[in-house]
Every structure is written in C-alpha cells, then in structure tokens.
Structure 1
Amino acid sequence: MPFDARTRPLTTPQARVLATLLEKSRTVPDSYPLTLNSLVAGCNQKSSREPVMQLTDGEVQEALDGLRQQTLVTEIGGARVARWEHNFARGVGVPDQSAVLLGLLMLRGPQTAGELRINAERWYRFADISSVEAFLDELQERSDEKGGPLVVLLPRAPGARESRWAHLLCGPVDATALAAPAAESTPDGTLAQRVQALEAEVAALRATVERLCGQLGGEP
C-alpha cells in the first residue's frame, strides 16, 4: 500500500529522523548510511533545522523502529555497528526531486518555492523556480489512490511577497497558524529571515565553487 499520512502520519521525531537520512545521503555520501550516533547528531544540529531539537538516542531508535515498520528506512547489517538508510522515495511513491523538497520541508519548516530551490542546492539542482513549483503542484494534487496530498500551499501572510509551502507527512496542518509568523514584521524576525537567506545563499555559492573546482581538478 502507498504511504498515507491521513491514516498513519509520521510523528515529529520520525519526520526529523527521515529528513536527516535524506539530507546526509546527498550531502555526505561517504559517511552514509548513518550509525545511530551520527543520526542523533544530525537530528540535533543547530544549523539548517527548524525547529532545533534535542532528541535522545532512545527517541531516535524508537523513531527508526516505527519508520522501519512503514518500510521507510532499512537497517544495514554485517558491520560491527548498525547503520541506517532511508527508502523514502520508493516507500512514499514519489520521484527523487519531490523527495528532496519534502525532506527540506521536514527539516526547515514552511518555505517558499524560491527558498526551496536555494536550500536544495547541495541535494539537487533545480533548473529554475518553475521546476520546483511543478513538483510542489504535483505533490499537492496527489490522488487519493496514491495516498492523498503531501504538501499544502499556506495563505500568503500580509506583507509577504510569496506564499510558503508546508508538508503533510505528519498529518493536517493549521495553515493559519503556520502562516502567522511571517506576518509578524518585528525587527528581530526580519533580521533572522535575512540571516537565514544569506546563509542559504552562501551554502549555494560554496557548493557551486566546490563543483567547479572538482571539474577543473583543483582544490576549493
């Protein structure tokens, strides 16, 4: 049966664990699959996480056990230390590009299509924002036979230029509540948004430089 968040939604720890496995499989492939210790550290890192969490080893293991029952993760045996890998795209029934977008939404919270394109740079290079929007529309229009929609477009907050997208893997969301923070134009909130955007831009530029250096055979 296809994954159906309406009947068996992910818990918050499960979403963080799954998204972390998705991220590390693309950004640090040499260290993937992950040990439990590495996975806990990835779940609790303070950068590129919204919200920042402090999951224990037991909570992460419990999340892994639940995800394994849904065939969304697999334990790799044969080594001294157990390692874990995700089976997200196949388990949920979406293409890799959609899996990337869902992973980013699970890790960083609601984002605009433009933010998703920038934040996805180290995971997958989308040609343009229209490409991102096409995959988001497909996820929003997912049929009931396939498990129903996996994302929702939030109402555009007053003063915001674009609407943000949120995932539905943990079940229905309060679209009004999620859209509200963007409407609060406090100085601190504005500064935090600018810093986050700059960090994402720097990460994208760094990835581009590393890719070019690799093609030219030099060091970054």
Structure 2
Amino acid sequence: MQPSAQKPLAFLEARILGVLVEKERTTPDIYPLTLNSLASGCNQKSARDPVINVKDSEVQAALDELRSRVLVLETYGASGRVLRYAQNFGRVYGLPPASVALLAILTLRGPQTASELRANAERLYRFDDTSSVEAYLDELASRASDPLVTRLPRQSGAREHRWAHLLCGAASLPIGKGLPADGPASAPSDLEVRVARLETEVAELRAAVLELARKG
C-alpha cells in the first residue's frame, strides 16, 4: 500500500508524522494525540529544527490530507469523547521500526550525520552501533521507485556526511549550516566550520557514552 513517489508530503505533514512517531514512543500515556497536543508537538522549541509556530487550523488541514492518504488514523481512544490521531506511516510506506525512527528524527531535526541520528533516535529505537544506522540509511536511499533519504555532500571541516529525508521532495542544505566542501565560492566562515565539527564530535561522544552505558 505504498503511496506514489510523485506526491511528496508538505513540510507540515512530514513534521506531524514525525511528532506522532516520537510521541507514540516517548509519551505513550497520551498517545494517540489530540489536535492541541499535536500542534504543541509541532511547535515545540526543543529537539526541533527548524522551530515553527503553526495554528491549530493549519495542523487540522494537514491532518485532513494525511488522513486521505491513510498516513494518519482517527480514533476516540479509551474515553470515546475527544478525537485523537495516530500515525500509520510505517505500514503505508512498508518500513521497519528502525527506518521509521530515523525518518521521524530527520523530519523533526533536519539533516544529521549517522552518529547524530543514532544518539537522537535513542528513545525511539536503540541501534547497536553507527554502522547499523548507516545500513538502514543506505537501504532507504536505494529504494528503486522512491528513495526516502539522501546523503548530502560533506561540509568543510566535517568528519561525516549528513543525511536528509526526501519525504517532501528533493533535499536542500538548510540556511546557516554551511556549504559543501566542493560548493560555490562563498565558503563557510571559520566559526561555521568549527561549530559543524563540534556538533559532529559531540554526537560521536554521545553515541560512545550510550554504547559504554549499555555494555556496563
């Protein structure tokens, strides 16, 4: 039941799916989500890039489109009084939980390295190591009819390539994140290079600490 690759999601639709996947694992007591809770998750200041501010009416319009594609399901939950929403993303796209977790984090936080994805996805899915993250990413990138992620050109000073999702169509480099090493003449500043390097190193350290904690 895979959706056509010719119809990419709108940005807000992808953000909604990411929020639903995230909250299903991190706050199961309130999942499925009400419209208000879903809007709050979309507008959340932490663990979001970019940070947005959308109205309930905008979220409702995006939900209606997602429902028409069976990517979101309506339910009244245990109370039977308040309408709630659940995601059907993995089933529609034919993806395992690990791939769903990676795509959710990419929709919520923007392009990231495999090390960053492993650390940021920890609460949604526990990957054994960075190589297992890369294996799932390679699988998502090599889907014949509709690749769902792409590897971006490595930035100047960065150790790892970043990955971006393709749920909304072709990926683009976010503003303020620097340019590829082989990009046009306006190279990133020294500060941007240092920040990019530090972000990658922090993600690698977080992944290493998680690995040590599990072994200990």
Letter in 2 for 1:160: A
1:147-187 Cα distance to aligned partner (Å, 9 max, x none): x100000011121111000000001123xx44972343453
1:172-208 Cα distance to aligned partner (Å, 9 max, x none): 123xx44972343453785598579869978x979x9
Distance 1:193 1:28, change over 3 A: farther
Which residue is 1:15 aligned to?
14
What is the root-mean-square deviation of aligned Cα atoms in Å? 2.8
Q: Paired residues, what number?
A: 203
Are positions 1:24 and 2:23 aligned together?
A: yes
Unaligned runs of 5+ in 1: 212-220
Distance 1:34 1:189, change over 3 A: farther
TM-score, scaled relative to structure 2: 0.83
Which of 178, 181, 201 is 2:177 aligned to? 181
Distance 1:42 1:119 in 2: 16
Distance 1:134 1:118 in 2: 16
Q: Matched residue of 1:34: which SS?
A: coil
TM-score, scaled relative to structure 1: 0.82
Q: Matched residue of 2:85: which SS?
A: strand
Distance 1:95 1:75, change over 3 A: same
Q: Matched residue of 1:181: which SS?
A: coil
Unaligned runs of 5+ in 2: 180-187
Distance 1:195 1:135, change over 3 A: closer
CA contact (8 A) 2:107 2:165 kept: yes
Post-superposition offset of 1:7: 1.1
Distance 1:135 1:158, change over 3 A: same
Post-superposition offset of 1:135: 0.4
Distance 2:66 2:201 in 1: 32
Post-superposition offset of 1:80: 1.4
Higher helix share: 1
CA contact (8 A) 2:76 2:84 kept: yes
Distance 1:55 1:188 in 2: 29
Determine what percentage of the aligned residue pairs are the same residue.
52
Distance 1:205 1:128, change over 3 A: closer
